[in-house]
Amino acid sequence: MSERTAGPATRTGGPGEQEALDADARDTTCRRAEFLLPPLPASARHPEVAYFAGNSLGLQPRAVRAAVLAELDDWALHAVEGHHRATHPWLPYHAELREDAATLVGAAPEETVVMNSLTVNLHLMMATFYRPEGERTRILIEDHAFSSDSYAVRSQAVHHGLDPDETVVRLRPRPGEDCLRTEDVVGHLAREGHRVALVLLGGVNYLTGEFLDIPAITAAGHAAGCRVGWDLAHAVGNVPLALHDWDVDFAAWCSYKYLNAGPGAVAGCFVHRRHVTDPDLPRLAGWWSTEQATRFEMRPELVPVPTADAWQISNPPILAMAPVRVSLRMFAETGMARLRERSLALTGYLERLLTEVIRDRPLEIVTPADPARRGAQLSLRVGGGRGGAGSGGDADAAGLADRLHRVHGVLADVRRPDVIRLAPVPMYSTFHDCWRAAEALAAEVSPS
Is the distance from CB of 427 to CB of 341 less than 8 angstroms?
Answer: no
Q: Reply yes or no: is the peptide bond before residue 39 cis, omega within 30 of 0.
A: no
If you count them, how many residues does the chain have?
448
Q: End-to-end CA distance of the chain, in Å?
A: 21
Question: Is 180 annotated as ligand-binding?
Answer: no
- Say which residues have a Cβ less than 8 Å from residue 25's Cβ, sequence separation at least 6: none
Residue 231 assigned ligand-binding role: yes
Distances (CA, A) of 47 to 27, 182, 417: 21, 43, 31
315 marked as binding residue: yes
Q: What angle do CA 5, 339, 262 make, to 5 degrees?
A: 115
**Contact in structure between 289 and 301 (CB atoms under 8 Å):** no
3-class state of residue 283 by DSSP: coil
Do residues 381 and 363 make contact, with C-beta atoms less than 8 angstroms apart? Answer: yes
Residue 76 and residue 82: Cα distance in Å, rounded?
A: 9
Annotated binding-site residue? 441: no
Beta strand residue intervals within 132-232, DSSP E = 138-142, 168-171, 196-202, 227-231
- 287 known ligand binder: yes
Helices in 11-146 by DSSP H: which ranges?
15-26, 63-78, 82-85, 93-96, 98-105, 118-129
Is residue 253 within 8 A of residue 87, CB to CB? The reply is: no
In degrees rounded to 5, what are phi and psi of residue 60? -85, 120
Neighbours of 66 (CB within 10 A): 10
Is 234 marked as binding a ligand?
yes
- Classify residue 31 as exposed, middle or buried by CB count within 10 Å of its CB (0-12, 13-18, 19+): middle
411: β partners:
51
- How far is residue 266's CA from residue 261's CA, in Å, rounded to a whole number? 8
CA–CA distances in Å: residue 113 to residues 92, 98, 243, 378, 422: 12, 6, 14, 31, 30
93 marked as part of a ligand binding site: no
Q: What angle do CA 407, 435, 379 make, to 5 degrees?
A: 80
Q: Which residues are part of a known binding site? A: 118-119, 231, 234, 256, 287, 315
List the binding residues for pyridoxal 5'-phosphate. Answer: 118-119, 231, 234, 256, 287, 315
